[in-house]
A = this chain, B = another copy of it.
Amino acid sequence: VGRGDVDLRAGADLRPEDVVRLEDDRVVLLDQRRLPDEVAELECRSSGEVAAAIRSLAVRGAPAIGVAAAMGYALAARCGEDLETAARTLLAARPTAVNLPWAIAEMRRSGSDPHTLAERSRELHRLEVERCVAMGEHAVGLFESGSRVLTHCNTGALATAGHGSALGAVRTAYARGLVEHVYVGETRPLNQGSRLTAWELERAGIPHTVIVDAAAGVVMARREVSHVVVGADRIAANGDVANKIGTYALAVLAAHHRIPFIVVVPTSTVDPVAMTGDEIPIEERPPEEVSARFPARNPAFDITPSTLVTAIVTERGIHRPPYERTLRP
């Protein structure tokens, strides 16, 4: 259970370095594929192994894969790999989250000295967690006493390498006595909700209920949900949101029930180059994840048009429409 000074016993708080860290000659990840049944770490000894860990979802969540990629780049420098080859391998690991190219661009700007790159990757990690904490502070302004949240996928400490985006905001609002209960969509086909989010909420002692994704409409119709709160893998300049498959349906349902639909992300998830959601590449994952027996399709993400988004919270504050203007740096 964990290595060295990492304490992952139930109840212990998940620290940023528990999720991903750069050691002298390796990147160490909490293997998210094996949770909640096993708490096990994965060691990556090259940038290629970090890319494989991202591709295979051992580490997932847009900010977390940005941090892991930055550390993979620093590891490449330490191991004497060709940095451009390493960058290309890391960039190709997954297409939708913009944090990955963002982190690699940040690293490229820091030269090629292994020590400098190692420090820079750790700084990016620290800054990402600070952004999450700041987002949580801003987001509490959107909740009121007795709020009941529905969330999707995992946007906790696991997804952002510390604290969390949407789930971090829920955690902060819960600590202030504003959130009463969290409904967790299981998030098929890989169950990040029922595996990872429920595990994090259990550790944090926050009351929660797992439901099938298809039950979201019912809990909204019964007024058991006051806020839908999700993260994102990429946000276009106009506020269109790419996030885990099913997010778009939740946004349509929230609008139908006049429930606020809130997106919580660090600015590293905002892509100033993509003008609208149409320009965001959507990853198609293996159909076998949905059905090993019959023909299937498995888009991993969908696009929620900004018209359905009540507010976007970043470390800079609460952004309201028109996002073209309010999201601009």
* A294 with B185: CB separation less than 8 A: no
Residue from the set A198, A207, A210, A298 with the largest chain B CB neighbour count within 10 Å: A210
Residue from the set A208, A209, A217, A221 with the largest chain B CB neighbour count within 10 Å: A217
Q: Which of B184, B210, B246, B296 contacts A209 (CB 8 A)?
A: B296
Is A233 at the interface (CB under 8 A from chain B)?
A: no
On chain B, the residues within 8 Å of A212 by CB distance are: 188-189, 213, 245-246, 290, 298
Residue from the set A194, A218, A302 with the largest chain B CB neighbour count within 10 Å: A218
Q: Which of B199, B207, B215, B253 contacts A245 (CB 8 A)?
A: B215
Is A323 at the interface (CB under 8 A from chain B)?
A: no
* A215-B252 in contact given A186-B188, A291-B210 (Cβ < 8 Å): no
Is A223 at the interface (CB under 8 A from chain B)?
A: no
* A214 with B187: CB separation less than 8 A: yes
User: Which residues A278-307 have CB closer than 8 A to chain B?
Assistant: 290-291, 293-299, 302-303
Is A249 at the interface (CB under 8 A from chain B)?
A: yes
Residue of B nearest to A214 (CB): B246
Query: Measured between alpha carbons, how far is A37 from B293 in the docked complex, in Å?
Result: 9
* B256 with A211: CB separation less than 8 A: no
Query: Measured between alpha carbons, how far is A256 from B249 in the docked complex, in Å?
Result: 10
Is A216 at the interface (CB under 8 A from chain B)?
A: yes
Q: What mask results when residues 105 to 118 of chain A are scored 1 for a CB within 8 Å of chain B, else 0?
A: 00000000000000
Query: Measured between alpha carbons, how far is A208 from B294 in the docked complex, in Å?
Result: 8
Residue of B nearest to A153 (CB): B214
On chain B, the residues within 8 Å of A189 by CB distance are: 212
For the complex, count residues of A whose C-beta is within 8 A of B: 43
* A294 with B215: CB separation less than 8 A: no
Q: Which of B211, B218, B249 contacts A216 (CB 8 A)?
A: B249
Q: Which of B184, B185, B218, B293 contacts A214 (CB 8 A)?
A: B185
* A213 with B188: CB separation less than 8 A: yes
User: Which residues A244-288 have CB closer than 8 A to chain B?
Assistant: 245-246, 248-249, 252-253, 255-256
* A245 with B294: CB separation less than 8 A: no
* A246 with B215: CB separation less than 8 A: yes
Task: Say how far A256's CB is from chain B's closest CB, in angstroms.
Answer: 5
Query: Measured between alpha carbons, how far is A231 from B210 in the docked complex, in Å?
Result: 26
Spell out A's residues near B (CB within 8 Å): 36, 184-189, 194, 198-199, 202, 207-218, 221, 245-246, 248-249, 252-253, 255-256, 290-291, 293-299, 302-303
- A-B contacts, 13 of them at CB < 8 A, read A186-B188, A189-B212, A209-B295, A210-B291, A210-B296, A212-B245, A212-B298, A215-B297, A217-B249, A249-B249, A252-B253, A253-B253, A256-B256
| Given A186-B188, A211-B298, A218-B249, 14 other A-B residues pairs in contact with their CB atoms under 8 A | A184-B294, A188-B212, A189-B212, A194-B291, A194-B294, A210-B294, A210-B297, A213-B213, A214-B214, A214-B245, A214-B249, A215-B297, A221-B248, A255-B256
